[in-house]
C-alpha cells in the first residue's frame, strides 16, 4: 500500500490556475477564446510541474541530507539531476529542503526545463493529518516562465476512505513570450480517487479537485473562477481530462468543459450560449 506521504504528489493542484490571459472583458473573439484556454492549460502545467518535480526530491531526501537523489520518476546520474540540500536530518522538524536546478536548468519529467531554486519547508511527517509543505522560489522558472509566490499544501487525512489535501496558492507568473504578469490566488481541496492500478508508483494517480480562485489576467482584468464540476487530473497527462469551470469578469462569463475523462488535448468553451471546441497547449 501507498503510505500517507503520497500527500505531496497530490499537490499537483496548483495546476488549476485559470487566467484567461489572452482576452479582456470586452474582447472574446474566437482567437481570444483559443489563446485564453491555451494559456490556462500552459499555466496549469507550470504549477503542476513545480509541485510534482519538487516533491520527488523532497520525498527522496526527507530523512537524510544527501544530494542529487534518484527515484522511480527520474532515474539518472548525479550529473543530470539538481542539487538537493536538507538543513536537518532524521526526525528533526521543521525541515527546509532546497532543490537547485542551476542557471542552465534540468529537464523535468514532462520535458520542461526548470531553472533556479525551489525552497520547501516541511512541518512534519506527511502521515500526520495537519502536516504541511510550503513552496517558495528563488529566481525559479519553467521554460523561462518566471514563477513567484507561495504554495502551501496541508494533509487533511481521509474522508470516506480517500486521502485529501487543502492547497492554498498565491501565484505570480511572468510569461516568457510577452513578459506579461498573471496573478492567481486560490484555495482547493484535492482528493485522490484512484492509484491507476500501480500502488507503488505515485505520479500516475488520479485526483478530483474542487475550489475557486480570484486573480488578474495578463491584460489586467480581474476575474473569479469557480469549479462547477470537480476537475479531474489523470497522472502526468498535461491538461485536465474532465470537469467544468466558470470564469467571470465584470462583463463576461466563460464556461470551460474539459470533457468526459478521455486523454486528449481538447476542451470546449461556451460564451453567450455559443460553444466552440479548442485545442489546449501542453
Tens digit of each residue's pLDDT (9 = 90 or more) over 115-125: 999 999 999 98
Q: Greater confidence, 10 or 52?
A: 52
- The pLDDT score that the predictor gives to residue 28 is 45
Model pLDDT for residues 23-74, shown as the tens digit of each residue: 333 444 555 545 555 665 666 667 767 877 888 788 888 877 655 444 444 4
Q: Would the pLDDT of 245 be above 80?
A: yes
Can you say whether residue 90 is alpha, beta or left, with left for phi > 0 and alpha for psi between -120 and 50 degrees?
A: left
Q: Are the C-beta atoms of 191 and 164 separated by less than 8 Å? A: yes
Model pLDDT for residues 207-216, shown as the tens digit of each residue: 899 999 888 8
* Predicted TM-score (pTM) above 0.85: no
- The pLDDT score that the predictor gives to residue 201 is 66
Model pLDDT for residues 137-171, shown as the tens digit of each residue: 999 998 899 999 999 999 999 999 999 999 998 98
Cell of 214: 480570484
What CA–CA distances, in Å, run from 261 to 128, 203, 230, 266?
32, 18, 12, 11
What CA–CA distances, in Å, run from 61 to 67, 142, 270?
8, 22, 45
Question: How many Cβ atoms from other residues are within 10 Å of residue 188's Cβ?
Answer: 20
Amino acid at each position: 500500500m501507498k503510505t500517507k506521504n503520497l500527500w505531496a504528489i497530490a499537490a499537483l493542484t496548483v495546476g488549476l490556475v485559470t487566467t484567461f490571459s489572452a482576452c479582456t472583458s470586452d474582447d472574446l473573439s474566437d482567437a481570444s477564446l483559443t489563446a485564453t484556454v491555451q494559456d490556462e492549460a500552459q499555466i496549469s502545467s507550470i504549477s503542476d510541474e513545480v509541485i510534482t518535480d519538487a516533491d520527488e526530491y523532497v520525498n527522496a531526501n526527507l530523512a537524510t541530507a544527501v544530494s542529487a537523489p534518484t527515484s522511480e520518476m527520474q532515474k539518472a546520474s548525479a550529473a543530470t539531476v539538481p542539487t538537493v540540500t536538507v538543513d536537518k536530518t532524521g526526525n528533526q522538524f521543521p525541515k527546509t529542503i532546497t532543490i537547485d536546478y542551476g542557471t542552465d536548468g534540468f529537464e523535468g519529467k514532462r520535458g520542461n526545463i526548470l531553472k533556479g531554486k525551489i525552497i520547501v519547508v516541511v512541518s512534519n511527517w506527511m502521515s500526520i493529518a495537519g502536516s504541511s509543505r510550503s513552496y517558495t522560489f528563488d529566481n525559479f522558472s519553467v521554460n523561462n516562465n518566471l514563477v513567484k509566490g507561495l504554495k502551501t499544501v496541508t494533509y487533511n487525512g481521509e474522508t470516506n476512505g480517500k486521502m485529501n489535501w487543502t492547497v492554498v496558492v498565491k501565484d505570480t507568473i511572468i510569461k516568457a513570450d510577452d513578459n506579461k504578469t498573471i496573478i492567481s490566488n486560490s484555495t482547493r481541496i484535492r482528493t485522490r480517487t484512484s492509484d491507476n492500478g500501480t500502488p507503488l508508483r505515485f505520479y500516475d494517480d488520479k485526483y478530483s479537485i474542487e475550489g475557486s480562485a480570484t486573480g488578474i489576467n495578463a491584460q489586467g482584468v480581474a476575474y473569479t473562477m469557480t469549479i462547477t464540476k470537480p476537475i479531474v487530473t489523470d497522472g502526468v497527462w498535461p491538461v485536465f481530462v474532465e470537469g467544468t469551470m466558470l470564469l467571470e469578469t465584470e462583463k463576461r462569463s466563460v464556461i470551460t468543459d474539459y470533457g468526459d475523462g478521455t486523454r486528449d488535448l481538447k476542451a470546449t468553451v461556451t460564451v453567450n450560449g455559443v460553444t466552440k471546441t479548442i485545442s489546449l497547449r501542453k
